[in-house]
């Protein structure tokens, strides 16, 4: 989730670590993974996987609307704006 919102050396390091050529590739891969894992919807049977899927961002940091949409739509995650400075 962090790689698509990064740029420059930070993004390069993330892509290198994750062995990916682009943030688009990562987003597509993660989107397919989430869709497959959540496709069943049944309370019993089938594969079960639990994972945290969210992002907490310091409230003073503005996020680009396109990044917010990517996180919530493609990656099916929540974004919470929180006060890391005073709490």
pLDDT for the residue 40:
66
Cα–Cα distance list, 38 to 2, 5, 15, 46, 81 (Å): 21, 24, 25, 11, 25
Number of domains in the chain: 1
pTM of the model: 0.56
Query: How many whole angstroms from its chain centre is CA 60?
Result: 20
Q: Quick check: is 73 in a domain?
A: yes
pLDDT for the residue 37:
72
Q: Quick check: is 87 in a domain?
A: no
pLDDT for the residue 75:
85
pLDDT for the residue 20:
92
Range of the domain at 33: 3-82
pLDDT for the residue 83:
96
CA triplet 40, 71, 76: central angle to 5 degrees? Answer: 15
Give the tens place of pLDDT for each residue, 8-59: 999 999 999 999 999 999 989 888 887 777 666 665 655 666 677 899 999 9
């Amino acid at each position: 989730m962090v790689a698509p919102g990064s740029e420059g050396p930070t993004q390069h390091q993330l892509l290198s670590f994750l062995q990916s050529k682009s943030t688009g590739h990562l987003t597509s891969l993660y989107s397919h993974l989430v869709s497959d894992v959540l496709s069943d919807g049944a309370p019993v049977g089938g594969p079960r996987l639990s994972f945290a899927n969210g992002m907490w961002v310091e409230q003073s940091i503005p996020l680009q609307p396109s990044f917010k949409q990517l996180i919530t739509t493609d990656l099916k995650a929540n974004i919470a704006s929180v006060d890391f400075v005073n709490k």
